A = this chain, B = another copy of it.
Amino acid sequence: MILGASIVTAIPQSRVQQIRSFLRQQDLQAWIAWRPDELLMLSGYFPFWGASLMICFADAEPVLFVPQIEPRDHIPAGLRVQDYSWGDLKCSDPYSALVSAAGNELVKARIQREQVGMNPSASRISLPIQAAEQIPIPEGFAGQLSPLTAKPDAKPQAAFADLYLRKTPEEIDAIRLANRVANAGLQVFFENLKPGIAEAEIAGAVESAIYRQIGRDGIFHSRGWAMVQSGPNSADAGRFNRSTGRHLENGDLVLIELATCVNGYWSDLTRTAAVGSPKAEVEQILAVAREAQQAAVEGVRPGVSAGDVDALARDRIAAQGLSSFFTHHTGHHVGFRYHDPGFLILPGESAKLEPGMVITIEPGVYVPQRGAGARIEDNVLVAESGHEVLSRIEGSMQL
């Protein structure tokens, strides 16, 4: 099958209405979006190069600017698209052309710069399909756009970040698919847990299983970042996740941190398993991580505070005398990015869970003195009542 007509998507009308309400509330007439996760949320379009820009209007249809070399087959039907000359042999400053084109659209719509908002920060945003380098939009670009936009104002940016928090039913389906794909990778992880194999070899096999899902079930982009830590390396997993050349040994705990992006939507999972028979003091670490994670997952429901969910995990770990070995938050929002913006699930956080939110639940225990660490992480949807664990799926993808 050639990638093509089969993956025409639609503009998500609920998001179109939402951005219009947002603009009116903020006394704005237009929003300039260019971050890959922002484009995806607002239009259903996930950029290839990461050099696309969209203007959303309070009172008109949006317009999308893409480099002339951008693939077109995954741009949603009905979205108005303009080319600009990025990728052209003869164009020395494509961004000037882009700024001019965007400015023309704003002038045509008789919109003043005080009525235009944007979010300039690229911190931890989603990489586009071309993921081997940071996106090409230069730092100076926000400055180039400043004649078109109001002085960056923290207030609309913070309000905009709030739009990430509650996912639509279609977005939840897309995140569910990302988790289904991630589970295909995790199946490879579990199949490879045997003494003698290297961490990096397992991680590479997991990523390969994720990549080869492309072409199935409407998947046009599927990429995993797997990091495997075994034995004493697992005790580092609360600070960083990477794979080394260490070979698994009997008695190890083995942890995999797995980021997966499918068609722009993200899953963020962790599993920990034992090889052979670990010592009791090592088994305890895995048992308490599982117990803490299960307790926090069970506490996810509308109206509960993030701090209360965190406490459910943290208290179980404290009850085993291991609280100083759980050094990070219990979770974060996920779906448009590996780490979506929004409140964290951490001690004392009073923000309350609401239906449509998708969060990670990922307590961990890392004890260097025992040469072992464990974390279990799932992606959990806050349902109308209770929750749904999106990452515990019956029937994995074909490998």
Q: Which residues of A contact B (CB under 8 A)?
A: 1-3, 48-49, 68-71, 87, 89, 120-127, 129-140, 142, 198-201, 203-205, 207-216, 219-222, 225, 231-233, 236, 238-247, 259, 261, 327-329, 337-339, 346-347
Q: Which residues of B contact A338 (CB under 8 A)?
A: 132-133
In angstroms, Cα B130 to Cα A241, docked, is 8
Q: How far is the CA of A247 from the CA of B2 in the complex (A)?
A: 8
A126 to B131, CA, bound (A): 11
Query: Using Cβ atoms and an 8 Å threshold, which residues of chain B touch A200?
Result: 211-215, 222
- Given the complex, which residues of B lie within 8 Å of A346, measured CB to CB? 89
Copy number in the complex reads 2
Q: Check A204–B215 contact: CB distance below 8 A.
A: no
Q: Answer whether A240 and B208 are a contact pair too, CB < 8 Å, given A121-B138, A245-B214.
A: no
**B207-A130 in contact (CB<8A):** no
Residues of B within 8 A of A209 (CB): 204
Q: Is the CB of B211 within 8 A of A246?
A: no
Smallest Cβ distance from A142 to chain B, in angstroms? 7
A89 and B347 contact, CB distance less than 8 A: yes
CB of A67, distance to nearest CB on chain B (Å): 9
| Contact A123 B142, beta carbon cutoff 8 Å | no
Contacts of A198 in B (CB 8 A): 212, 214-215
Given the known interface contacts A208-B204, A214-B200, the answer about A127 and B133 at a Cβ–Cβ threshold of 8 Å is: yes
CB-nearest residue of chain B to A245 = B215
What would 10 more interface pairs be, CB under 8 Å, given A204-B210, A208-B208? Answer: A2-B244, A89-B328, A122-B138, A124-B135, A131-B131, A139-B142, A204-B211, A204-B212, A207-B207, A215-B245
